[in-house]
């Protein structure tokens, strides 16, 4: 093409007014709930030093960090080197998630509250191939509790996200719970070499997508013995699916485990489940011993939010007690959870879960044979009454003006003709019903308020 493409880059979107209305609606629910739980807002830069970002997400994650090329002389010098490496070319990268920037902030500002509860709603970027519900630029909505070792932190975080989803109208989500130490214990019990632990985790994480046979094949290609693979799958699949309740599953796994740390993790999960019964997450959680999660920094309980009709998750999180220590001398415990805004929007869109959301002005001011000065004067008077008013800007037939009002979603139209202007009146019309009345200009807002279906978003 001779002209540049007008499509946004793959994996990014333009948000048109109707999209913004839906996004703001969801974000406002999230913020209301988060703030109601005592979380305070934080924003961090779009890009960070690469040294901040790399080495936190695992090898796969590091590859997906967008690098910002050096500029001008620094770039020139780097390119002139004989053996140019990746680190010569860039020292900055777009943030990959909101957790690592938070950890940096906590290590930097030592006078934050001892128990810092923050929420953060900002875009993150991943150099990934886009797919259904997957983007290269997307928003995460994080809540984290810093400085708390007790499971109250987990319960608060999970309670908050459960409340968000409930208020948005989700009735079928599941908080899947697992524990990194339990996973390690199970893998150890199955006889997988400690060196293969990470690869085993990656394979296991695909269980719900490729099934037990798929995982078996995956484990084999990754060099894990068939015996160990069989034992692992027996523990995680057969026993897990045979168990009728989380309590029963806990008992079965506890009996099979040959790892004290694993059993301790299991106890922690039991304690957490008991706490969750006193939060909005009650009845919404389930033990999922196969849940692994890719990110490298988790150390304790981990969670993921599932709904039936989405292959990926609506969000996830976990405890990361060692991450902040990577930025400073002090080791500070932390736990958090992230909701994927576009995942939520995607499912809500497909299920038609949005309430009516108005995007246009409340009132379209149409005119006939009126001077522009009088038209603007009237618009200002209406706006002073608190109405959201758009002025139809050209001399056109009234029918065209009303059609336009309807097409932009304005629920009301005002007609200002020479008669009305002379009398200080305006004719108001409710487009949906056709009801129409001529009223004094200063009574316009009252007339509309009496008929407005609902407040603006």
Partner RNA sequence: GUGGGUGUAGCUCAGUGGUAGAGCAUCGGAUUGUGGUUCCGAGGGCCGUGGGUUCAACCCCCAUCACCCACCCCA
**From the list 262, 315, 336, 360, which residue makes contact with RNA (rule: CB under 7 A)?**
315
**From the list 2, 195, 244, 356, which residue makes contact with RNA (rule: CB under 7 A)?**
2
Q: Which stretch binds RNA (CB under 7 A): 13-21, 104-112, 309-317, 323-331?
A: 309-317
Nearer to RNA, 137 or 271 (CB): 137
> Cβ of residue 210: shortest distance to RNA, in angstroms?
6
Total interface residues for RNA by CB under 7 A: 70
CA Rg value for the chain = 28
5 binds RNA (CB under 7 A): yes
423 binds RNA (CB under 7 A): no
Q: Which stretch binds RNA (CB under 7 A): 172-180, 337-345, 374-382, 449-457?
A: 337-345
Rounded distance, CA 249 to CA 235, Å?
10
10 binds RNA (CB under 7 A): yes
205 binds RNA (CB under 7 A): yes
Phi, psi of 142 (to 5 degrees): -100, 145
> Cβ of residue 432: shortest distance to RNA, in angstroms?
5
> Cβ of residue 107: shortest distance to RNA, in angstroms?
21
Q: How far is CA 233 from the centre of its chain?
A: 32
437 binds RNA (CB under 7 A): no
326 binds RNA (CB under 7 A): no
Nearer to RNA, 272 or 426 (CB): 426
206 binds RNA (CB under 7 A): yes
**From the list 313, 320, 347, 444, which residue makes contact with RNA (rule: CB under 7 A)?**
313
Residue 244, beta-bridge partner list: none
64 binds RNA (CB under 7 A): yes
**From the list 70, 134, 358, 383, which residue makes contact with RNA (rule: CB under 7 A)?**
134
Diameter of the chain by CA atoms?
Answer: 92
Rounded distance, CA 353 to CA 156, Å?
26
> Cβ of residue 55: shortest distance to RNA, in angstroms?
15
159 binds RNA (CB under 7 A): no
55 binds RNA (CB under 7 A): no
CB 39 within 8 A of CB 119: yes
Nearer to RNA, 277 or 435 (CB): 435
Nearer to RNA, 126 or 216 (CB): 126
> Cβ of residue 193: shortest distance to RNA, in angstroms?
19
Rounded distance, CA 20 to CA 17, Å?
5
Q: How far is CA 176 from the centre of its chain?
A: 17
**From the list 336, 340, 360, 361, which residue makes contact with RNA (rule: CB under 7 A)?**
340
295 binds RNA (CB under 7 A): yes
376 binds RNA (CB under 7 A): no
Please count the other Cβ atoms lying within 10 Å of the Cβ belonging to residue 284. 21
Rounded distance, CA 84 to CA 118, Å?
40
Q: Which of 34-65 are b and which e, b meaning 16 or more Cβ less than 10 Å from the residue's Cβ?
A: beebebeebeeeebbebebbbebbbeebbeeb
Nearer to RNA, 152 or 359 (CB): 359
Tell me which residues in 216-275 interact with RNA (CB under 7 A): 218
Rounded distance, CA 378 to CA 384, Å?
10
Q: Which stretch binds RNA (CB under 7 A): 162-170, 178-186, 206-214, 349-357?
A: 206-214
19 binds RNA (CB under 7 A): no
Q: Which stretch binds RNA (CB under 7 A): 76-84, 234-242, 353-361, 393-401?
A: 393-401
CA 358 vs CA 265, 346, 386: distances in Å? 49, 19, 16
Binding pattern to RNA, positions 86-125, x when CB under 7 A?
Answer: -----------x----------------------------
Residues that bind RNA (CB under 7 A): 1-2, 5-7, 9-11, 58, 60-61, 64, 97, 126, 128-136, 138, 140, 202, 205-206, 209-210, 218, 293-295, 304-305, 311-316, 338-340, 342-343, 368, 396-400, 402-404, 406-407, 415, 417-420, 427, 429, 431-434, 436
């Amino acid at each position: 093409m001779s002209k540049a493409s007008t499509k946004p880059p793959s994996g990014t979107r333009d948000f048109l007014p109707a999209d913004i209305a839906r996004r703001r609606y969801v974000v406002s629910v999230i913020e209301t709930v988060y703030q109601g739980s005592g979380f305070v807002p934080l924003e961090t830069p779009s890009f960070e030093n690469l040294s901040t970002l790399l080495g936190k997400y695992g090898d796969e994650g590091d590859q997906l960090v967008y690098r910002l090329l050096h500029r001008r002389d620094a770039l020139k010098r780097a390119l002139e080197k004989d053996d140019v490496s990746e680190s010569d070319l860039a020292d900055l990268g777009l943030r990959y998630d909101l957790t690592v920037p938070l950890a940096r902030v906590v290590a930097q500002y030592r006078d934050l509250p001892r128990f810092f509860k923050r929420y953060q709603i900002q875009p993150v970027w991943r150099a990934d191939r886009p797919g259904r519900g997957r983007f290269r630029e997307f928003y995460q909505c994080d809540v984290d509790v810093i400085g708390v070792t007790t499971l109250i932190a987990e319960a608060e975080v999970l309670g908050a996200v459960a409340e968000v989803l409930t208020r948005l109208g989700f009735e079928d989500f599941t908080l899947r719970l697992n524990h990194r130490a339990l996973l390690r214990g199970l893998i150890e019990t199955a006889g997988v070499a400690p060196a293969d632990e990470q690869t085993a985790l990656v394979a296991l994480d695909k269980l719900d997508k490729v099934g037990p046979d798929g995982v078996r094949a995956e484990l084999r290609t990754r060099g894990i013995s068939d015996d160990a693979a069989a034992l692992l799958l027996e523990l995680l699949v057969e026993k897990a699916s045979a168990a009728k309740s989380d309590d029963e599953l806990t008992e079965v796994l506890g009996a099979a485990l040959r790892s004290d740390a694993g059993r301790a993790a299991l106890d922690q999960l039991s304690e957490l489940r008991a706490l969750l019964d006193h939060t909005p997450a009650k009845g919404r959680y389930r033990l999922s011993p196969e849940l692994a999660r890719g990110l490298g920094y988790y150390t304790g309980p981990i969670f993921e939010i599932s709904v039936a009709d989405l292959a990926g998750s609506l969000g996830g999180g976990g405890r990361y007690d060692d991450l902040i220590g990577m930025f400073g001398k002090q080791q500070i415990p932390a736990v958090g959870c992230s909701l994927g805004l576009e995942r939520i929007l995607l499912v809500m869109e497909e299920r038609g879960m949005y309430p009516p959301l108005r995007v246009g002005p409340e009132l379209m001011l149409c005119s006939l044979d009126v001077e522009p000065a009088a038209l603007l004067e009237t618009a200002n008077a209406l706006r002073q009454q608190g109405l959201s008013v758009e002025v139809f800007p050209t001399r056109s037939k009234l029918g065209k003006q009303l059609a336009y009002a309807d097409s932009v979603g304005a629920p009301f139209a005002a007609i200002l003709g020479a008669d009305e202007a002379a009398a200080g009146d305006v004719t108001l019309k409710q487009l949906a019903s056709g009801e129409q009345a001529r009223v004094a200009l200063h009574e316009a807002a009252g007339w509309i308020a009496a008929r407005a279906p609902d407040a603006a978003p």
